[in-house]
Amino acid sequence: LHAGIGGYFALWLLLVWFAAQFKWIPSPELWIILGAGIGMLIGLEFSCANILFFAGQKDGDKPQLGTIYAADLLGSCLGALWVSVFMIPAYGVYKTLLFLLIVNTALAAVLFIHRQR
- What is the reported pLDDT for 36? 92
Give the global pTM. 0.75
pLDDT of 61 over the 70 cut: no
Burial label for 72, CB within 10 Å (0-12, 13-18, 19+), is middle
Q: How many CB atoms lie within 10 A of CB 9?
A: 21
Give the tens place of pLDDT for each residue, 67-101: 888 888 898 899 899 999 999 999 998 899 999 99
- What is the reported pLDDT for 77? 92
Greater confidence (58 vs 109) lies with: 109
Residues 53 and 68 sit within 8 Å (Cβ to Cβ): yes
